[in-house]
Amino acid sequence: MNIIVGLLSGVAASMGLGGGFVLLIYLSLFTNTNQAIAQGVNILFFLPIALLSVCIHLKNKLIDVKTVIKYSITGLIGAAAGSLLSVYLDTEILRKLFAVFLILIGLRELFTKKASNTKKQPQEK
């Protein structure tokens, strides 16, 4: 079963569909893995896929490096703060907070209108 879940998570993650979600649910609910350990495994699972994606996007000039640096600094601060906070919170509270977070993100995705990514091309005369 672990191999199947790992394969599904990898395929979903490589397509940008949230493979970490599959992995976290499986580890938390079906293997009774501690939430902090499940999140750590998820991060380790995600890193190779993220690195490959960044390399491909950099090669195709799809990444604005200045924007990445700006948001990476605040993201690292937030990750460190969240990591420290998770040490002091009970596992059940973490699970409930994570569930609420997933529901809120899902609702936002369902009900937020997406901006169009297509740029109007100048008409030739």
pTM of the model: 0.49
Other beta carbons less than 10 A from residue 87's beta carbon: 7
Above 60 in pLDDT, residue 102? yes
Q: Cβ distance 7 to 26 under 8 Å? A: no
Tokens describing residue 89: 């919170």
**What mean pLDDT, rounded, does the chain reach?**
84
Q: Return the closest-CA partner of residue 39 out of 81, 106, 91, 4.
A: 91
Give the up-direction half-sphere exposure of residue 119: CA atoms within 13 A in the CB hemisphere: 2
| Residue 116, pLDDT score | 64
| Residue 36, pLDDT score | 85
| Residue 113, pLDDT score | 81
pLDDT tens per residue across span 33-75: 988 898 888 888 888 878 888 899 899 999 999 999 999 999 9
